[in-house]
Structures are given as structure tokens and as C-alpha cells.
Amino acid sequence: MRNPFAPNATISERQLARGLRWWLGEGVVSLGFSSIMTSGFLTAFALALGASNFEVGVLAALPFLAQPLQLATIPLVERLRRRKAITVSSWVLAQMLWVPIALVPLIVGAPSYSTVTVLLGLVGMRAVLSAVTSCAWNSWLRDLLPQERLGRLNAQRQALANAAGLAFGLAAALFVDFWLRTAAPDRAVIGYVVPLLAGALTLGLASPVMMTMMPEPLMPAPSGPRPSLLKTVWEPFQDPNYKLLVRFLFLWGLALNLATPFFAVYMLKQLGLSVSAVIALSVLSQMSSILFLGVWGPFTDRFGTKAVLSASASLYILVVLGWTFTTLPGRYLLTIPLLVLLHIMAGIAAAGVGLVTSTIGLKLAPAGKATAYLAAAALAASLGAGLGPLIGGRIADYFATRHLRLTLAWADPTHVIQLPALDLTGFDFLFGISVVLGIVTLSVLRALREEGEAPRTAVLQALLAPARESLRPMSSVPGISLLSQFPYSYLMRVPLPGFDIALGVAAYQLGSSVRTAVATASRTQRIGRTVTDAVSRSLGEAARDTMEAGERGADLAFSAARGAMHAATEVAGDVGHLARQAMIGVVRAFHPTPADTLQVIRAAAYGAFQGAEELDAENLVKIALQVLEGAQEEAAALGLPPDLAAARAAQGILAAAQRLPPDVQASLRLSIMEALPQASRDLLSVAGS
């Protein structure tokens, strides 16, 4: 019988498919349980044991402060080269620690200082084991997961995990609420013990079992002498682009975790909400996250991780800013509606941030060096996320007795009217500091470079496109005309982080609803020139904005064509016909810009063919020929030499085909050469393609 922990020299498509199913299942149980622990349940448990604001900060910081131990795990991984064995063994121990954590109040007694100390000690031990797990697990996944489908796979995993967390969270909230209403005060803490034990013994222990069922690729053999630990650890910090990523992850973790761990404390203490209400709002956030993961996943594959991260991170900053308006200075009429809106937007933003921060390090890490690079990224993110709650706890305690109030007053001989213009106290200062640091962090992200990246404006345009396209047929109706024709580029100039993305998300939801209704009514209609017009219109403004910003048009052309092909999963029609129309639409959109049209043709052909291949489309040769026809047709319409356009499109197709088996590449090249006119074949030969 084969050792289940032995690495595989080769992994078949069937083994990979089975492994991905187990990976999705593992995400459901581990992330589903973890999402409840980080959504306010563990914070409420700690408060019930008598924890202070600072101790709540320490509790939130411990899992992150232990992450530097990943660096110490690198030699173990490199020497043993058994990532699966290291991951599963350490993770079993880590998950088992949830049992004594749940039983702390029964063993030590609560509330008391000793109970909180023991709780922090056990959480710290679990954090150490989790750091060992993460180092081996991330390296294992880097070599196992298909990079071209990483965005969609992670989105699917996160959605399933959030659904599991939603179900478990609702059950936990209902149980705690019932227990607190019926139990004696000295036994109230048992309401937290039961859900913790139930989750640990079911979801918690199921996770390492599912890990065991996944295949592990054999680690690539090191080329040349094995470098020293210091050199291995230091290498990611010498890579200029990866160093920017490390800096961003540190600052973002710090900015985000200054405030986020204290949302639950704020609602429980300052707003006076019940535990069940806090968890119910968290469930609402998870529901919105599930719904929007299906948007961020394809957007990541279409526009790149950086563009999605910029959009979702700025939206999250806007959400944190919104928390300062939930009191004036206490609860008021709009407090609950605003909390609902903030949790919905937070779920949407967290879906994008969580999805992208879990994949951007994988994408930028060089093959064969993933262990050190991913450990560096995890170290930076964890240090920031660990320092954030500690600093945030101190800030919250300091400002608890401070108050800043600005009031507008009108006085006449008989009346005095006062309007509070600004009223900050306690946690409001903490939220404001988090917002300022978040804005600084976004400037670091802008300097980061990713292959094939699209500008942030492309994400905004994609969010707005469904509303514009769906409302355009009704543009004669007053009000709707304004929505369809409004110059949304002005949203970028509003000096409020995430404001444009928030409106874009709202427009996307509106447009998607209308589009679904229209698509249902016209399912059998031919897509024809509609695809061309839709791609051209939705890309046109983003292309112009890109040129004004000095970005490369070819990158956006590639992303747009590839994204149009992904739309084939939603549009009934011939994939080859869609590829041809996508090529025409992209080239047409870029023609009025300063972009090199021939470079755009090559990039669009590359994106269209790669998108078709990622969709497992049949008859790739036919699709390639239709892309060539589209390039020639649009080049002739624009007054460009069709032969030259066909040659450039062929270059893009053949470049995209490099991932295919050699025999498929040879057949594809032969078919393309036969279909091209002689002038195009000569140009292709001269180019050395």
C-alpha cells in the first residue's frame, strides 16, 4: 500500500481533479470554523471571561505574531521535503487545542484574570503550530494549484467556506442567545463552551483528514549548492517588486487590524447589542461575501490581482470610515441601518481582499522558490496584523476618556439651535487613524507591478458596465437616462477612498438584476454584433483613462479579451464566434487612443485564445482561425494592412499556445500557417515566431 504522505513525482489530471475537490472541502471546514472565531464569537467569549480591551487586542494579535516562526520552519521543509507530512501533523495538534480552549472556564473558573491568562496561553500555543503549518501548506499549494485558474478556484473555496461559516454562525448565535436568556448568570459562559466544542470536534478535526487526501507534488530539486538559511530568507527582500508586496502586506495588516478586531467590542459595549445581534450582522457580512466572490474571482483572472486588490481595499477603508458615523455620540435612528449597510459592504470588500491577498503572493513568487517567498509575504502580513490589535488596544484605552466635539450653533433672541458637526470619542479615534494609515498603504500598492495587470479604472468600468448596458435600452426614461449616460469617470475625483467602488458595487447589483431578466427573455437570440458593441463600449472609457495615466494598452487589451472569453460561460453561443467578436471589439475600443494598434491586436489575440483554452473549449484550431479573421476584418476597416494584422494576431495565438502539449502546438501552428496569406506567413517567419 502506498504511503499517503509520500510526494508524487507526477500528478495525473484525475489525481489533480480529486485533490482540488478535497482542497475545496478542506476550505469549507477549516475556513468555515475559523470565520466564526474571527467574527466576534471568540471576542465575546474573551469578554465573558473578563478580558480588557488590551487583552482582546492580544488575543487577536497572537495568531499573527507567531507567523515569523515560518522562517524557522523553512529549513525543516527544505531538509525533509515532505510538506504534506509536516502540514498534517502540525495541523492536527493545532486543531486539537480548540478543545482545552473551550474548556478553560470549566477548568479554571470564570470570570477571572487567571482564566484570561490561560486562554491567551493556549491561543498562543495554537498560533505557533499554525505558523509551522502555514509554511509547508503554502509551498505545497504553490506547486499543486493551477496558476491560470487560481482566482476562480480561490473564489469558489472562499464562497463554500463562507457558506459553512454562515450556517455554523447562525446555529452558534441562536444557541448563545437561547442560553443567555434561560441560564443562571454564573453559568452564562457555558453558552460559548458548547458551540466551541462542537465546532472543534467536527469541522476542526475534519480539516487535517481532508488534507491527507490531497496529493503532494515532489518538490523541485534545488539547482546547484543549497544556499544558506540567511540567504534563502533574505532573497525575497532583494527582489524589488516582491519587496513592495511585502511592504504593502505589512502596512495593510497594520491598518486593517487597528480597527477590525474591535468592531465586535464596539457593538457589544458602546452600542449595547446582544451577542446574537453581533453574530447575525457577521452572518449578513458573510452572505454578501459569498454573493460577491463570484464577481471578484473572474475579475481577478480578467484584470489581475493588483486591480482587484486596489478596488476592494479602498472599499474596506470607506467601510472603516463609516463606523465613525454609527453614533452621534450614542445610538440614534440610523445606527442599525448604517450597521447593516456597513456589514454588507464589508463582506463585499473582505471577499476581494481575502481572495487576492491569498493569491497575489502565489502569483508573484518564482517557481521553485515558493517556500521562502511565501514565508516572507506571510511574515510581513502577520507582523502588521499582529501589531495592529496591540496598538489598537492601547489607542482605544487611551481615547476612552477623550472627546472631540465640534458643534454648529445658531442663536437668536428666542432660540438656540445646535447641530453636531463632529463628535469623536473612544473607538472613533481608532477608526479614523486606521483610515489614514489605509490611505497611505494604497500608495504603496500603486507602485507594485504584476504581469498582465489592468488599471483600477478597468474594475470600476466592469462594475458599472452591467448597469449601463442594461439601462441603455430604457435611456429615454427620465432618471434612467441619467444613470446610463452619467460620466462615471468623475467618481474617481471624489476625495473619499472607496467612494467610486461603493457606487460601482451598487450599480453592478442593479445592472446584474436587469441583465438577468433580459438574458432570460432573450436566451435564444444570436449574440452577433452585440458582443462586439458591448466589449467596445465597456472598454472604451477604461482604455482612454489608461492612456491618460500612461499605462500600457496591450496589458488591458489582453485582460479585456480574456475576460470576454470567460463570459462564454454566461452567454449562450458559439465560442469561436465570441472570440472573433471579442477581438474586433477590443481593437475598435483602442483605435481612438495613442496605443499601438498592432500591439493591441497581438495582445487581444493572446487573451482571446488563452481565455478559450482556460474554458476547455473544443476545437481550438477553429477558434484560432476565427480570431485571425476578426483581426483581418477590423484592420481593413481601420485602414491597416490586413496581412500585418493577421501576422501579429498569429504571434499572440502561438504565444498563448505555449502551455499546450507539443503535438497540439504543432497542429495549431500548421493550421494557422495554411490559413494565413503568403504575406502574413513571410512576416511571421521574419518575426521568428
According to CATH, the topology of domain 13-217+231-399 is Growth Hormone; Chain: A; (1.20.1250)
Q: How confident is the model at residue 475 (pLDDT cuts 50, 70, 90)?
A: very low
SS3 at position 93:
helix
User: Which pairs with CB-CB distance under 8 Å and at least 24 residues apart come from 550-554?
Assistant: 551/455, 553/590, 553/593, 553/594, 553/595, 553/596, 553/599, 553/600, 553/603, 554/595, 554/596, 554/599, 554/600, 554/602, 554/603
Tell me the CA distances in angstroms from 213 to 4, 32, 584, one per residue in order. 8, 19, 46
Judge contact between 440 and 251, C-beta under 8 A: yes
Q: Which of 100-109, 326-335, 490-499 has the lowest mean pLDDT?
A: 490-499
- 3-state helix vs strand vs coil in the chain, percent to 5: 80, 5, 20
Q: Which of 92-96, 245-249, 411-415, 645-649 has the lowest mean pLDDT?
A: 411-415
∠ at Cα 656 (650, 599), nearest 5°?
55
Statement: the pTM of the whole predicted model exceeds 0.75: no
User: In sequence order, which residues have a C-beta less than 8 Å from that of residue 108 and are 6 or more positions away?
Assistant: 114, 115, 118
pLDDT per residue as tens digits for the range 376-403: 887 788 788 888 888 888 888 888 778 7
Average pLDDT for 198-203: 87
What span, in angstroms and rounded, lies between the C-alpha atoms of 607 and 23?
Answer: 28
Judge contact between 583 and 604, C-beta under 8 A: yes
SS3 at position 494:
coil
* pLDDT recorded at residue 457: 67
Q: How confident is the model at residue 36 (pLDDT cuts 50, 70, 90)?
A: low
Number of residues in the chain: 689
Judge contact between 555 and 452, C-beta under 8 A: yes
* pLDDT recorded at residue 94: 92
What single string gives the DSSP state of each residue in 496-548? STTHHHHHHHHHHHHHHHHHHHHHHHTTTS--HHHHHHHHHHHHHHHHHHHHH
Segment holding 677, helix H or strand E: none
User: In sequence order, which residues have a C-beta less than 8 Å from that of residue 675 and are 6 or more positions away?
Assistant: 625, 628
Segment holding 7, helix H or strand E: none
Tell me which residue of 657, 417, 634, 447 sits closest to 536, measured CA to CA.
Answer: 634
Q: Name residue 535's amino acid.
A: V
